[in-house]
Amino acid sequence: MTHRSQLLKQRLWRWHFLAGLVVCPFAILLSISGSIYLFKPQIDNYEEASINAQAPVVEQASPSLPASIHIRTLLANNPQSNFKRIVLAKPGDRSLEIELVNAKGEKVIYWIDSISGELLASKKSDQRLMQRVKKLHSELLLGNMGSYVVELMASWLIILVITGLYLWLSKPDNREAPKKLVTPEVGQIAADKKWRSWHGVVGFWFTVPIILLLLSGLPWTQLWGAGFDKVKAMAGWQGPGQVWFVTLQSEKPDGEMVKVPESSLWEITSDPHAHHNSLMARDVSALNLGVLDMIQSKPQVAAMIHPVQIVPPRPNNGVWTVRSMSAQRSDRETIHFDQYSAQQIQHITFKDHHPVEQLVSQAVSLHEGALFGWLNQLLGVLTALAITCISCFGLYSWWLRRPQSGPGMSEPVASSPSAGLAVGIVLLGVLLPAAGISFVLIYAVEWFAVRVRQV
């Protein structure tokens, strides 16, 4: 091995070691929470089945009541609350979900028996099990600050996997005996070497799945996701739009309706004192919800893959929006309807998006375990388990061999990195901006440490 190669290995090993001590605990937490979230469909179905079991017994042929009746009743029982959305009952299910926003700004979900109109259960949106798991996995229950931390840890985990693979492939024993690359040592060797062998072998086999899993999660992140959105905008990869940020308008009909205060129409409030003309406000709300019933009965809505949510219009002549929220992104579609006539204005399907956006969407489905059924869930669980094992094996092997006087890492390299390494660092910093910011801080600390030792 040349002197330059030795310096490169020493530098990478130091980074791999220090980053591993920081990242591995987060990697274990994210792996466990991510594994739970992979089974969101099954957990949600169990929750819904438990709620449906509370519905009163009715005649088999009993029809479901119009959604407008359930919403109107719910608003009457929850003064000061505003209607946010409704999730339609799945085929064979008795309950539908109605989400309101109360006076405190809290989102509350109510499960209503679609036949009897009886309230079966209610819960704040952020208190649902899978919502908590999602918040833990994506932001460590710390809001935006936690989201930045998760992005930083995920970015460095990618770097750990890449540097770990290089160090494992360049290990002299493994180069002389390739069998050690793919099979762990289980003979009479020191415990720390045995666990380090397991650390390297598991990492070798799961390098590609781990990197794919991590890359497919980046579109949700703060820095990478925002940067990618800007790239899409500049490159014209955004597709039709109007999926989440809706700016479509409804055509106002002639008549007195336009004289009604906008808030009564959009918020659909249950507070009888919210407007000076309460009778007219109730009339407009009834008409608006009547349009909802018309939309729900349309064949194109009935054909959408569940869960299907309907979102009411926003101010300034907005539209009713119906979304299929299937975990498989290629099955998702969005339809916008005129809020007065219930006429279809726009229909967006997967094929309407740019190919780059389609690729990213499918990557998200892969990350969530929905791209190819239970095999995707199995692959996700195995990959998450591999991350947990790699982290535990690496930490334990270090713990067994750690010196009493310090952490046991190599000394900082005094020489400047080679041109190739410098280019690689810059590329990683650009592709993984959270890591790029940390590179600058690490370089400053390393430079200072070397200068102190030279004094």
pLDDT for 156-205, tens place per residue? Answer: 999 999 999 999 998 888 887 888 889 998 877 889 899 999 999 999 99
Judge if 349 and 418 occupy the same domain. Answer: no
CB 222 within 8 A of CB 432: no
User: Residue 224 burial by CB count (10 A; 0-12/13-18/19+): exposed, middle or buried?
Assistant: buried
Could you tell me if residue 105 is inside a domain?
Answer: no
Residue 148 lies in a domain: yes
Picking from 346, 367, 388, the residue at the C-terminal end of a domain is 367
Per-residue pLDDT at 172: 84
Give the model's pLDDT for residue 266: 31
In a domain, 54, yes or no: no
Measure the CA–CA gap between 208 and 244, rounded to whole angstroms: 32
> At residue 439, does pLDDT exceed 80?
yes
Residue 51 belongs to a domain: no
Do 363 and 281 reside in the same domain of the chain? yes
CB atoms within 10 A of CB 423: 11
Between residues 38 and 175, the one the model is more confident about:
38
What is the tens place of the pLDDT at every residue in 52-66? Answer: 999 888 776 688 899
> Do residues 50 and 180 lie in contact, with contact meaning Cβ atoms separated by under 8 Å?
no
* 264 found inside a domain: yes
Asked whether the predicted pLDDT for residue 115 surpasses 50, the reply is yes
The model's pTM: 0.86
In the structure, what pLDDT confidence band is assigned to residue 259 with cuts at 50, 70 and 90? very low
Residues 276 and 425 placed together within one structural domain of the fold: no
277-285 average pLDDT score? 35
Grade residue 8 by pLDDT with cuts at 50, 70 and 90.
confident
pLDDT of residue 455: 66
Same domain for 162 and 139: yes
394 in the same domain as 448: yes
Binning pLDDT at 50, 70 and 90, where does residue 220 land? Answer: confident
pLDDT given for residue 264 in this prediction? 28
CA dihedral for 113, 343, 301, 248, sign (positive or negative):
negative
Backbone CA torsion sign across 289, 293, 294, 299: positive
CA atoms within 13 A on the CB side of 325: 14
Query: Across-strand partners of 37?
Result: none
Over residues 309-337, mean pLDDT: 91
pLDDT at 412 over 80: no
Across the range 118-139, mean pLDDT stands at: 94
Place 240 in a pLDDT band, splitting at 50, 70 and 90.
confident
Within a domain: 75? no
Q: Is residue 13 part of a domain?
A: yes
Q: So what's the pLDDT on residue 15?
A: 87
Which amino acid is it at 174?
Answer: N
Quick one: pLDDT at residue 409? 65
Same domain, 269 and 354: yes
Would you say residue 414 has pLDDT above 80?
A: no
Instruction: Tell me the C-alpha distance between 3 and 25, whole Å.
Output: 34
Q: Do 349 and 381 fall into the same domain?
A: no
338 in the same domain as 260: yes
The answer to whether residues 296 and 156 belong to one domain is: no
Residue 162, pLDDT score: 95
Q: What is the pLDDT of residue 1?
A: 57
Q: Which of 302, 335, 367 is the last residue of a domain?
A: 367
Percentage, residues of the chain above pLDDT 90: 64
Residues 310 and 401 in one domain: no
pLDDT score at 410: 64
What does the mean pLDDT of the chain come to? 86
- What pLDDT is recorded for position 411? 67
Does residue 255 carry a pLDDT above 70? no
Q: 189 to each of 195, 395, 404, how far by Cα in Å?
A: 10, 18, 22
Whether the per-residue pLDDT at 270 is higher than 60: the answer is no
* Residue 20 near residue 200, CB atoms below 8 Å: no
178 and 288 in a single domain? The answer is no
Residue 256 has pLDDT above 60, yes or no: no
Judge whether residue 267 has pLDDT over 60. no
Question: Pick from 351, 367, 383: which residue ends a domain?
Answer: 367
Considering the domain architecture, whether residues 385 and 357 belong to the same structural domain is answered as no
Range of the domain at 353: 238-367
Sheet holding 119-124, edge to edge: 119-124, 107-113, 95-101, 82-87, 308-311, 319-324, 333-338, 344-349
Among the residue ranges 422-426, 432-436, 451-455, the one predicted with the least confidence is: 451-455
Residues with Cβ within 8 Å of 181's Cβ and at least 6 positions away in sequence, in order, are 168, 169, 174, 200, 201, 204
Number of domains, the chain? 2
How far apart are the C-alpha atoms of 107 and 97, rounded to whole Å? 12
Q: Which of the two residues, 140 and 269, has the higher pLDDT score?
A: 140
What pLDDT score does 164 carry?
95
Residue 82 located in a structural domain: no
- Say if residue 272's pLDDT is above 60: no
